[in-house]
Amino acid sequence: MKCPVCNHENGDAHFCERCGSNLTQTTSSPTPVPNSESAASEPEYTRWSSTQATSSQASVPSNTPSISIHKEQARESTGTNDHASAGDNSSNQWNNIVQNEKVQQAKEVSKQYLSYFLSVLARPYQTMKTVGDQHSLNGWLTMALIAVLSSTYFLITFSRIGMDGLFIGGFLRPLLFTVIILIASIALMYAILKIEKITFRPKTLVAQFGTLLVPAVVSLVLANLFIIISYSIAISLLAVSYIIIFVALNSVLFQYPLNRTQAAIDSMYSVLIANVVVFFILYRLLGEIVIGLIRLMLSPFGRL
């Protein structure tokens, strides 16, 4: 059956395959003139198809809709690929921006820490009294440097001796032990100040302790350099860096007004207990390593 609207041959279908017209209603009236109400009730696609068909029914071949559909699908697939590539480019650009921001932040933190380090090195105790919560990050960075430099010292020493298990026994174990010692020192100071019922800020406590540890970083740097020259000087500088930890612990505690209340134990004994605990941890964790290095220092090979 031929559609009276678009002249498309539909066979025995009830609706036109091209424009969607009802063929059963249009059979009796070949050239219907739709009024405003019927046009409004027709679907949008039907009205659009009827308009397009009447304007180009003489020149459009029967396979035009399929060709246009294929072209539309091709344009959609091309647009999807372009959109995906644009999304990948935007994500790559965002990752580059984030990485650049992290690099800039790391550079800014390094510059700030370097200026902080140089200012503290001249007067560590006086600077310790003026630091606040904003310097807690510098305190943690100083303790991290102490842990890494001390582990580097043992790693270089063991490699020169030719010992086995360099990375685990010469780097990871001293690194872990030094971190435990530093964290135990902070925990003991925190406990003593709590027992003394002194108001303080934990971040400020970390900043104060880290400020007094700055000379220990310099001592460890020199210890790593003097391994090549003399084991005796290097081991002495290593011992000085650990002594500074005890000095820093006591200096931070005694700058607070201790023994203001009638506590169960005098402040002198509480500070002494803290020192004994830190020394015991140091001896148990690093005692064997340090004693072995001292023996090496006393040997003829260590007196170079």
**Is a pLDDT exceeding 70 seen at residue 116?**
yes
Higher local confidence (pLDDT), 91 or 116: 116
pLDDT tens, 53-77? 454 444 444 444 555 555 556 555 5
Q: Is pTM, for the whole model, over 0.85?
A: no
pLDDT, tens digit (0-9, with 9 covering 90-100), for 4-37: 888 777 777 777 777 777 777 644 444 444 454 4
Rounded CA-CA distance 159/140 in Å is 29
Q: What is the distance between the alpha carbons of residues 248 and 177, in angstroms, rounded to a whole number?
A: 18
What's the Cα-to-Cα distance from 238 to each of 54, 152, 172, 227, rounded to whole Å?
Answer: 97, 11, 17, 11
2, two tokens: 């031929």
